[in-house]
Amino acid sequence: MENNAKILLADDSHAIRFLVSEILTNAGFTVIQAENGQEAIDKTYKENPDLLILDYEMPVKTGFDVVKEVRSRTGYLHTPIIIFTAVTDKSTKLEGLGLDIDDYLTKPADEDEIVARVKLLLKRSKQKMDCNPLTRLPGNPSIQARVEAEIAAGKSFAVLYCDLNNFKSFNDHYGFEAGDRVLKTEAEIITRAAAKVPGSFVGHIGGDDFIVVCPFEYAESVASEIAAETDKVAPTFYNETDRAQGFMTSTNRKGEVENFKFLSIGIGIVHNTKRPLTSFAMVSNIGSELKCLAKQHEDGSFYVMDRRA
């Protein structure tokens, strides 16, 4: 988002609107102007800006009135809001924090400070919207951006596609709360393994699918650790009866009673040391193929490295 983001600037002073709008436009942002609080509300709903800069004291509706109105709508709960004010007393700022205002700019504001704060809030907003709500790991937009950055860098790298085995049957049998515990634990296992590697990246594709991006030379050691730790912790998710018998008995998708092995993980390792990787789609396709091969292994967690030239 950042430099092509759309910003709503609301202030009853034409001079301030002109000055701040020029600063933001020169920084690459699109600026929508409003001269009072009601116009700011109307334009927010019409234009869906990525960030709001609101004057504290405006006619018709104040900056705080606008915040209360905008925050009452679900779609704008996480839209970054900056209050632009000459008022510096503590009680006013505390009131604003209670309304979920993200930042304050005190008039007159420095050009560099305005741009820096806007960029920071937009970056945080992007990260917040992109994160998986359960594991707090980056989601698909960040995953794609990281893989594309690795391709562009031209260095050797690997992408580990990780997928839990027997998760659906476990989730159906033990319930969503137990399933969520599994996903959080697996996210921690993968993150710990990747954290030992400089410059690594961990993302949550969705459901029980995760991804690791790291230098090629570390790929197998990371995959090996994830597999071993997953197998070690898996039995703890089951009740005593299932642990004692070494499997879980439940119904499959056809409604038939079936014995399911404990949770494990299949990992497909895609890399560019044998052949060039030219797009995120190519990486995803190869990763899905290798992951499926790894999941066919019937005895615990397993990883498959792409060895084709």
Largest Cα–Cα distance of the chain, in whole Å?
Answer: 76
**Same fold: 2-130 with 140-305:** no
* Mean pLDDT, the chain, integer: 91
Coil, strand or helix: which one is 23? helix
Closest CA to 222 of 240, 204, 195: 195
What value does the mean pLDDT take over residues 36-47? 94
The residue whose two tokens read 């921690």 is 188
Q: What is the pTM of this model?
A: 0.68
With a cut of 90, say whether residue 133 has pLDDT above it. Answer: no
Specify the amino acid at residue 115: V
Element (H, E) at 258: strand 257-260
Alpha carbons 63 and 55: distance in angstroms, whole number: 5
What value does the mean pLDDT take over residues 236-245? 95
The pLDDT of residue 22 is: 95
More confident residue, 143 or 86: 143
The pLDDT of residue 237 is: 97
Pairing of the two strands 103-106 and 81-85? parallel
Domain boundaries, the chain: 2-130, 140-305
CB 65 within 8 A of CB 110: no
167-174 and 176-195 are packed helices; what angle lies between their axes, rounded to 10 degrees? 140
What value does the mean pLDDT take over residues 278-295? 96
- pLDDT tens, position by position, 155-191: 999 999 999 999 999 999 999 999 999 999 999 999 9
The pLDDT of residue 213 is: 97
With a cut of 90, say whether residue 2 has pLDDT above it. Answer: no
The pLDDT of residue 238 is: 97
Alpha carbons 230 and 190: distance in angstroms, whole number: 9
The pLDDT of residue 309 is: 76
Closest CA to 10 of 49, 36, 48, 45: 36
The pLDDT of residue 76 is: 81
Q: Where in the chain does DSSP place strands (E)?
A: 6-10, 30-34, 51-55, 81-85, 103-106, 157-165, 201-206, 209-215, 248-251, 257-260, 264-271, 302-305
- pLDDT tens, position by position, 8-36: 999 999 999 999 999 999 999 999 999 99
CB 211 within 8 A of CB 202: yes
Instruction: For residue 264, name the pLDDT band (cuts at 50, 70, 90).
Output: very high
Alpha carbons 302 and 231: distance in angstroms, whole number: 10
The pLDDT of residue 71 is: 85
Q: Which CATH architecture has domain 140-305?
A: 2-Layer Sandwich (3.30)
- pLDDT tens, position by position, 72-127: 876 787 889 999 887 665 555 555 555 678 888 888 778 999 999 999 999 888 77
Burial class (CB in 10 A: 0-12, 13-18, 19+), 33: middle
CATH number of the structural domain 2-130? 3.40.50.2300
The pLDDT of residue 1 is: 46
Alpha carbons 93 and 102: distance in angstroms, whole number: 11
- pLDDT tens, position by position, 61-84: 999 999 999 888 767 878 899 998
The pLDDT of residue 242 is: 95
What value does the mean pLDDT take over residues 193-200? 93
In the 8-state DSSP scheme, what is residue 226? Answer: H
